[in-house]
Amino acid sequence: MHRTAVLSLCALAAAYNTAMAQGVGYDNTPQIPGQKWKVHDKSRPNPPVVTPAPAGDPAAAPGDATVLMDGDLDAWQHADGGSAAWSVGADGVVTVKAGTGDILTREHFGDCQLHVEFSTPEPVGESQGRGNSGVFFFGVYEIQVLDSFENTTYADGQCAAIYGQYPPLVNVSRAPGEWQTYDIFFEAPAFDKDGNLEKPAYVTVVHNGVLVHNRRALLGRTSHLSAPSYSPHGAEGPIKLQDHGNPMRFRNLWVRPLSAE
């Protein structure tokens, strides 16, 4: 083969590999308000990968925390008000039972500090199909849970993303099967008596000991394929965990409601 032809084939192969690495996502979705990116933009760069410290023991709840998950599902219910149907193992670990639906806390919270421990299953599938769940405040503001260990997806949908709005500052995911932690500081949005937004929600997220969102203002409810926007709600709401069809594991969830004073 002619040398020039070989070189252009190599260039084509390199371009193809680059496109494959960055090309997961969409180019026909709405613009994210105030950003240069579209929702789930396939050209949005994925954040740098950072190796976290090794996983440690469960972080014990401080004395003033409300324990949400410690060997049972008593604090949780199904969205329809029935019992939470996820499974609880002999070791106290909770596993998503695919198809049974999301679970919500019976108690409602406003501003809070939330600790979550999760572990993604053996990799099956790819992109959003791998180790997908989520932690939602007020049931509608999602911090994504995903297996983002050597698994490329669109940047605003990877693990620890504010789903459809902001990727994490870095990808500090641990491997499937290892325990990971979120420490999330959530400030509830406020609405006036006519339902207009007075103050957006703010969120700070620490993933496996590393800061990945530093008091980010949310652009509204997180959503798939559509642009975020706010619709009014009360001062407190449930925390929700998502059944996205993958046997994700959770343990040791606790929350500290934060007073405005």
CA distance linking residue 89 with residue 112, whole number of Å: 28
The nearer residue to Mg ion, 134 or 220, going by C-beta atoms, is 134
Could you tell me the smallest distance in angstroms from the CB atom of residue 154 to Mg ion?
Answer: 12
Strand partners, 95: 87, 249
Residue 76's SS3 state is: strand
Closest to 187 measured CA to CA, from 174, 172, 204, 167 = 204
| Residues 45 to 64 in contact with Mg ion, rule: CB under 5 A | none
Closest CB to Mg ion: residue number: 134
Chain centroid to CA 91: how far?
A: 25
| Residues 187 to 246 in contact with Mg ion, rule: CB under 5 A | 242
Which residue stretch of 13-21, 77-85, 144-152, 216-224 sits at the interface with Mg ion (rule: CB under 5 A)? 144-152
With beta carbons less than 8 A apart as the criterion, state whether 169 and 145 touch: no
Burial of 101 (0-12, 13-18, 19+ CB in 10 A): middle
| Residues 91 to 110 in contact with Mg ion, rule: CB under 5 A | none
* Position 131 contacts Mg ion (CB under 5 A): no
* Position 134 contacts Mg ion (CB under 5 A): yes
The nearer residue to Mg ion, 131 or 237, going by C-beta atoms, is 131
The nearer residue to Mg ion, 176 or 257, going by C-beta atoms, is 176
* Position 164 contacts Mg ion (CB under 5 A): no
Could you tell me the smallest distance in angstroms from the CB atom of residue 261 to Mg ion?
Answer: 34
- Exposure letters 107-116 (e unless 16+ CB within 10 A, then b): eebbbbbbbb
Could you tell me the smallest distance in angstroms from the CB atom of residue 26 to Mg ion?
Answer: 16
User: How many other β-carbons are positioned within 10 Å of the β-carbon of residue 202?
Assistant: 17
The nearer residue to Mg ion, 61 or 79, going by C-beta atoms, is 79
Residues counted in the chain: 261
Residue numbers of the site for Mg ion (CB under 5 A)?
132, 134, 144, 242
